[in-house]
Structure 1
Amino acid sequence: MDRRKFLKGSALFSGLFTLSPSDLWSSQRSTQPPHMGKAKNIIFMVSDGMSLGTLSMADLYSRNILGKGSHWMNLYHEKKVSRALMDTASASSIVTDSAAASSAFGGGIRVKNGVLNIGANGEKHLPIWQKFKKAGKKAGCVTTVTITHATPAGFCINSERRNAEPQIAEMYADLKLDVLMGGGDEFFNPENRKDKKDVYSVYRKKGYRIMKERADLKTAKNGEKTLGIFSTGALPYSIDRANLTDFKNTPTLSEMTQSAIDQMKNHPDGFVLQVEGGKVDWAAHANDIAALIHDQLAFDEAVKTAVDFAEKDGNTLVIITTDHGNANPGTIYGTDATQQFNSISEYKYANEYILNTIHKNYSVKQVKDWIYESNKLILNDDEARHLLSFYNGLEKEEGLYNYKKLPFKLYSDMQKSRNSVGWISMDHSGDYVEVAAYGPGSELLQPFIKNTDLHDVMLKAAQI
């Protein structure tokens, strides 16, 4: 080998890594292909907190148990989409929260964790759904968590605090968004708001139809403004909705997505719609594999709903992604890994429901019987006693969305030894994530992007 050529090449190669990621991305943007079509409609889909392992395991479960590949992965197999990896960092950290992540999409800028479309010096960046409303399009959001939560809010409003959900509920009404569906009754209902304000009446006066149950989706009329609030707090996990009669009147994400499309699709200037599988993130925070897979598959059904419409319509850009990873779950090598992973199909409920059912007066036998009934797992006496110690106040577990301090991690560790699924944490991660785009404007998607680039992609695709 010519040593001088090698050293020259090595210097050039090493010099590449002295560039910042932004330098690399900016060079990519300069070589974007020409715009091949205008998107009249845009559907932006976010599986909140979806690590690559979540996407992989949902597809594996679908193939092994349901006998078919997931719709998202089928789009890759069929080469129907443009595909990219995305850096999800915020202005304050390589690991973002959902507010900063959604602000990157919605405001086109990176902000600090915890705020919505507010810059470092207090400047307000106009959220993208407001831009599209000003351009004459209808705009909506549907989610499986509270409709006022960070991800939908980041496309719509400016706020110093992502947790200002009572105020965000009122901001939406002022913006006259066309379709809002999710949970969060406590932010609209005067009986549950601290200020006792009837926010539902505010929406009614502005001409909104208020929907509270799944059956109400059938009464929604084309072109009508709708507010669908289907639960206090977030909607139930999909696995619980399927197996508990109390939740049969709760719509699926796919059903809400279809209803939102139907309400806005005939508008002459088009529509924009955000669709969020918010409970994927919550399941990851709880290290709950059954809840995670079933909510990811529920999101996957919504992907099919959106892409089916886009294929027939021909004028709709569908962007499918996540805002950040969470807990990085994955399958673990072992002789019985396949069989153990497939045993998740015997899980009947989310871990939150399972652990909420246990009380401190349960006996060791009652705990073991309940765990077997709900997960077909056989615990030994020591494991059952360890679970009970949390209910007797001997141990406590913190964690986001763990208000009752349930032993999520302890129980997921017990499941891990039997289902071959492990987790690196109970919180967000800064790994690069998947992006797929279908329809006019999808050619704008570069192979490696920042989260803020998707804001520009939407505007350029719609030629706004």
Structure 2
Amino acid sequence: MRRRDFFRNGSLAFLGTALINPGIGQTAARTQKWSGKTARNIIFMVSDGMSNGTLQMADALIYRKEGRHSHWVQLMQQQGTRRALMDTASASSIVTDSAAASSSWGGGKRVPNGSLNVNADGSFNKPILQKFKAKGKSVGCVTSVPITHATPAGFCVNSNKRSAMEDIALEYHKLRFDVMMGGGVNIFSADKRKDKQDVFSLFRNSGFKVVRNRQEMLSIPATNSAPVLGVFHGESLPYEIDRRNDAALISNTPTLAEMAKTALQQLSRNKNGFVMQIEGGKVDWAAHANDAAALLYDQIAFDDALKVAMDFVNNNKDTLLIVTTDHGNANPGLFYGSKAGDNFDKLQSVKHSSDWILMGITKDNTAAQVRERIEAAHGIGVSTEEAGELLKRYQKLDSEGIYNSYKLPFRELAIMEQKYFNIGFGSMDHSGDYVELTMFGPGSENLLPFVKNYELHNFLLKAAGIMA
């Protein structure tokens, strides 16, 4: 048979078509004999926008600094852990956004980018946390970005627009999920909302335990039976590298691990079990900014939260732990050079994010002041010429990038710093890579080596003994 005839007539023709059209075959779920025990609890962890290079570099940073592997890599090495590759396309593109990606898990179908569990024809897919809550389980979400952001919302609500976060906050109130914690003070505050509604008071007056800072969160009693809303910082939580070097941020804003531990304390009181999502959302934001330091330290913050989850699972064998990402982003990598190791090790002593650097520069600064700020934050000595080139961008701020409302030159700074850290980025946006999917606990034995993102919806329901 000639090669072109094989592709035209054989099974590879279907495969090729499926890759070109990411929506193909999504309703034709693969039949699979389900075996093993069911899970009383499910912890679903998402490092948003984590390319494989991010996972590898965070592991390398930890290993070279502390002499151990990341908790995620340790989980991979643990006996009984299952792994797979996952295809992350949406209904409208081979490269998904976070709303469609989370909706594929949350609603069981691929939807167009930008929507939350709403199909192209306008019909709704019931979100998975609503299904689990209806079965008597406690449910909740924890994230380092606004709690109304795309990834937690994809498990919770139906919305035509992921950007409708003020409306999503009101939907959360109606749904009365048991624990919702993350950033987004501006979305709940009367003085920031378009409708001037005090949504914090709305939650508080209807019986929610509302906490606004780290100490309030840590003071929630273990016996608390009220649903919990925890919202911290103005928009998202700060980057972990900025938080750990700022006394006020340390005092006022919790880590992802601390939020996860508090949420587990609250959710695990239900005798029927719980289902929760934990998202390291700032990993995605740092990748969009090509910010190597922020990226890796927020990945490590996610890894710290994973340790909290692993400890819980080790003490509660009826818990299924799932660790993955919704898509790659920017495809960062550590690249060869005669001083690659030494340059990479400079990240051990960084103090702040690129956001901290660039937000503190104005067009009236001198090149010497720019050099001083970069050295204070990243510990590298850029040249006067390099600092001057960066400073020129402030004459007219017009740089691109998601979550870059001030049009700051993140890309230009990343390119400048590549020779100092040996870390490069492929873009400033999402990628269509197959991604890592790691599972441990009851139900994980049914994981196939390759899955499509929407297949996890029914997988979770079956793992808990609930039919779709």
Confirm or deny a common fold (TM above 0.5): yes
Most deviating of 64-73 and 104-113: 64-73
Matches within 5 A, 1:21-420: 21=18, 29-30=30-31, 32=32, 34-221=34-221, 222=223, 223-248=225-250, 249-393=252-396, 396-420=398-422
Post-superposition Cα deviations, 1:127-169, rounded to whole Å, max 9, x if no partner, equal: 0000001101111001000000000000000000000000000
2: CA distance, partners of 1:224 / 1:263: 9
Letter in 2 for 1:264: L
Letter in 1 for 2:427: S
1: CA distance, partners of 2:78 / 2:321: 16
Letter in 1 for 2:405: Y
Q: CA deviation at 1:45?
A: 0.5
Q: 1:343 to 1:400 in 2, by over 3 A?
A: same
Letter in 1 for 2:269: N
Q: CA deviation at 1:357?
A: 1.1
User: Where do 5+ consecutive residues of structure 1 fail to align?
Assistant: none
Q: Is the 8 A contact 2:54 2:333 kept in 1?
A: yes
Q: Is the 8 A contact 1:49 1:323 kept in 2?
A: yes
Q: 1:26 to 1:444 in 2, by over 3 A?
A: farther
Q: CA deviation at 1:218?
A: 2.5
Structure 1 counterpart SS, 2:439: strand
Q: Is the 8 A contact 2:291 2:414 kept in 1?
A: yes
2: CA distance, partners of 1:11 / 1:372: 59
- Provide TM-score, normalisation by structure 1: 0.95
2: CA distance, partners of 1:355 / 1:27: 49
Kindly report the root-mean-square deviation, in angstroms, between the aligned alpha carbons of the 2 structures. 2.0
Q: Is the 8 A contact 2:26 2:110 kept in 1?
A: no
Structure 2 counterpart SS, 1:180: strand
Q: Is the 8 A contact 1:237 1:295 kept in 2?
A: yes
Q: 1:23 to 1:409 in 2, by over 3 A?
A: closer
Q: CA deviation at 1:33?
A: 5.1
Letter in 1 for 2:270: H
2: CA distance, partners of 1:85 / 1:303: 19
Q: Is the 8 A contact 1:33 1:443 kept in 2?
A: no
Corresponding residue of 1:19: 14
Q: CA deviation at 1:41?
A: 0.8
2: CA distance, partners of 1:237 / 1:420: 22
Q: CA deviation at 1:374?
A: 1.6
Corresponding residue of 2:455: 453
Structure 1 counterpart SS, 2:145: strand
Letter in 1 for 2:429: D
2: CA distance, partners of 1:109 / 1:25: 7
1: CA distance, partners of 2:163 / 2:27: 34
1: CA distance, partners of 2:28 / 2:229: 43
Structure 2 counterpart SS, 1:45: strand
Number of positions where the alignment pairs a residue of Structure 1 with one of Structure 2: 456
Q: 1:26 to 1:114 in 2, by over 3 A?
A: closer
Q: Is the 8 A contact 2:146 2:236 kept in 1?
A: yes
2: CA distance, partners of 1:107 / 1:207: 28
2: CA distance, partners of 1:379 / 1:97: 35
Most deviating of 165-174 and 380-389: 380-389
Q: 1:289 to 1:231 in 2, by over 3 A?
A: same
- Percent of paired sites with the same residue: 49
User: Where do 5+ consecutive residues of structure 2 fail to align?
Assistant: none
2: CA distance, partners of 1:239 / 1:374: 10
Structure 2 counterpart SS, 1:43: strand
Q: CA deviation at 1:80?
A: 3.7
Structure 1 counterpart SS, 2:14: coil
1: CA distance, partners of 2:80 / 2:8: 34
2: CA distance, partners of 1:61 / 1:428: 23
Q: CA deviation at 1:100?
A: 0.3
2: CA distance, partners of 1:78 / 1:44: 18
Q: Is the 8 A contact 1:151 1:276 kept in 2?
A: yes
Q: CA deviation at 1:28?
A: 9.3
Letter in 1 for 2:236: A
Q: CA deviation at 1:215?
A: 1.2
Q: 1:289 to 1:42 in 2, by over 3 A?
A: same
1: CA distance, partners of 2:151 / 2:13: 34
1: CA distance, partners of 2:349 / 2:264: 34
Q: 1:39 to 1:115 in 2, by over 3 A?
A: same
1: CA distance, partners of 2:151 / 2:214: 23
2: CA distance, partners of 1:197 / 1:99: 25
2: CA distance, partners of 1:110 / 1:293: 30
Letter in 2 for 1:338: G
Corresponding residue of 2:425: 423
Q: CA deviation at 1:217?
A: 2.1
Q: CA deviation at 1:247?
A: 0.6
2: CA distance, partners of 1:65 / 1:13: 53
Q: CA deviation at 1:341?
A: 1.2
